[in-house]
């Protein structure tokens, strides 16, 4: 076991990047602040992301939507329509396509909540020319898993996740 530990500790890891631009994933997938929560869930699930930046109409980051934000919202917001009274005829319990709804079904109310209503409204960002040391120190100091890279006009141009930093270690 000691020989295994020694083998693992030989050598020093170096971050093979000089600036935020070297670390970042360019043109990150973002979510509009006016998108519905259901649309945002589809984006995150389909892409396998744990979070995404939220942008306004001008492309500027205004927050972050994470899986945690969605879970908290879902836990607090799920409501069900009242059950169908027993006096409705069986024919009333069919969908437009003719599918019969069995006993004990529930109809979920549509959620019209927008992303801006549940996102974390804080944007941790750095400029593209920020030194990597600053990026890492900021991520640790802010206790965040990702920082955004915004150009001089405040437009989102990239994102740096903890995984992006780890990928550049060598």
Predicted local distance difference test score (pLDDT) of residue 112 = 84
Measured in degrees and rounded to the nearest 5, phi and psi for residue 159 equal -140, 145
CA 148/CA 120 separation, integer angstroms: 14
Specify the CATH class of 14-90+114-167 in words. Answer: alpha beta
Q: Where are the domains of the chain?
A: 14-90+114-167
**What pLDDT does residue 10 have?**
60
**pLDDT per 10-residue tile (average), the chain, 170 residues:** 56 92 94 96 94 91 94 79 58 65 63 92 95 97 94 92 93
Q: Give the chain's radius of gyration (CA, Å).
A: 23
The token pair that represents 70 in the structure block? 């969605």
Residue 133 and residue 18: Cα distance in Å, rounded?
A: 8
């Amino acid at each position: 076991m000691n020989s295994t530990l020694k083998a693992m500790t030989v050598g020093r890891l170096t971050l093979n990047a000089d600036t935020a631009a070297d670390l970042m994933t360019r043109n990150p997938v973002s979510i509009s602040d006016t998108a519905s929560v259901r649309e945002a869930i589809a984006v995150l699930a389909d892409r396998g992301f744990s979070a995404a930046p939220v942008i306004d109409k001008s492309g500027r980051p205004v927050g972050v939507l994470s899986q945690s934000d969605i879970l908290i919202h879902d836990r607090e917001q799920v409501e069900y329509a009242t059950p169908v009274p027993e006096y409705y005829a069986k024919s009333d319990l069919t969908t437009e396509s003719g599918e019969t709804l069995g006993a004990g079904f529930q109809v979920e109310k549509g959620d019209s909540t927008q992303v801006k209503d549940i996102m974390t409204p804080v944007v941790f960002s750095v400029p593209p020319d920020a030194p990597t040391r600053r990026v890492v120190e900021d991520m640790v100091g802010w206790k965040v898993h990702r920082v955004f890279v915004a150009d001089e006009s405040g437009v989102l141009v990239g994102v740096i996740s903890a995984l992006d930093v780890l990928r550049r270690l060598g």
